[in-house]
Amino acid sequence: MVMPVAHRVARAHEVRVRVATDADLPAVRCIITTAYAPYERMLGPLVFERYLSDLLDLDGHRQRGLILVAVLHGVVCGAVAYCPDATLQQVGWPAGWASGRALAVDSPSRGMGVAEALARDVQRRAVEDGAEVLALHTAEFMVGARALYDRLGFQRVPDLDADLRNYLGSCGQGPVPALAYIRPLTPAGVDAASHVDEELAS
């Protein structure tokens, strides 16, 4: 049996990242829905429904920045939203920071460097846009994402953790924690990260 071309073993340089077109959006929705489906059990159905709906708000992502897609062997196999002004996400990021969210890779393409290619492209764009810091939230149970961010030099800043209830609505349950990770990109960003560390130590 011949495997689809997107599912062959890939080398990192074969993954190409570009801005999504309208024609890419159905594939992006499918990739996000499939990639985040396992988290319904951790979040509960009501929170998950609101969370997934927010991730799939592609028009909203585009209004705040860009949707980027990863292409491997001619097939869209991953996506991420990039926001050059992190304050627009309304989750407590400071002015002058950029952010990324909704990182997703289709199952057959995992382990091929797709997520790393997307994360590195977001970082490249944030540097080009003059952002001091690249920031993002993830969850305790998103083990693969946390390992990726550690490998790329992000640092945990618990002081900037968020409760998604404040963003999604109370959902009738306890806290929905989102773990903050940041990557300083400029000397000012390094100073900002140090200031956060000092506040945590005090």
How many whole angstroms separate alpha carbon 164 and alpha carbon 181? 15
Whether residue 172 lies inside any domain: the answer is: yes
What's the start-to-end Cα distance of the chain, in Å?
Answer: 61
Mean pLDDT computed over every residue of the chain: 87
Whether residue 3 lies inside any domain: the answer is: no
Per the structure, the count of domains in the chain is 1
Buried b vs exposed e over 22-60: b needs ≥16 C-beta within 10 Å? eebbebbeebbeebbeeeeeebeeebbebbbeebbebee
Whether residue 2 lies inside any domain: the answer is: no
Cα 126 to Cα 58, 113, 158, 179: the distances in Å are 20, 20, 22, 20
Whether residue 6 lies inside any domain: the answer is: no
pLDDT at 181 over 80: yes
pLDDT digits (tens, 9 = 90+) for 131-167: 999 999 999 889 999 999 999 999 999 999 988 776 6
Q: Where are the beta strands (DSSP E) in 36-160?
A: 66-72, 75-83, 97-105, 133-138, 155-156
Residue 127's CATH number: 3.40.630.30
Domain of 40? 12-201
Contacts of 197 (CB under 8 A, 6+ apart): 157
pLDDT digits (tens, 9 = 90+) for 19-73: 999 999 999 999 999 999 999 988 888 888 988 999 999 999 999 999 999 999 8
Confidence of residue 187 (pLDDT cuts 50, 70, 90): confident
Quote the pLDDT of residue 12: 53
Whether residue 181 lies inside any domain: the answer is: yes
pLDDT digits (tens, 9 = 90+) for 59-116: 999 999 999 999 998 999 999 999 999 999 988 899 999 999 999 999 888 888 999 9
Whether residue 1 lies inside any domain: the answer is: no
How many whole angstroms separate alpha carbon 172 and alpha carbon 78? 32
pTM of the predicted model as reported, rounded to 2 decimal places: 0.86
Whether residue 57 lies inside any domain: the answer is: yes
Burial group, residue 167, by CB count within 10 angstroms (0-12, 13-18, 19+): middle
Whether residue 4 lies inside any domain: the answer is: no
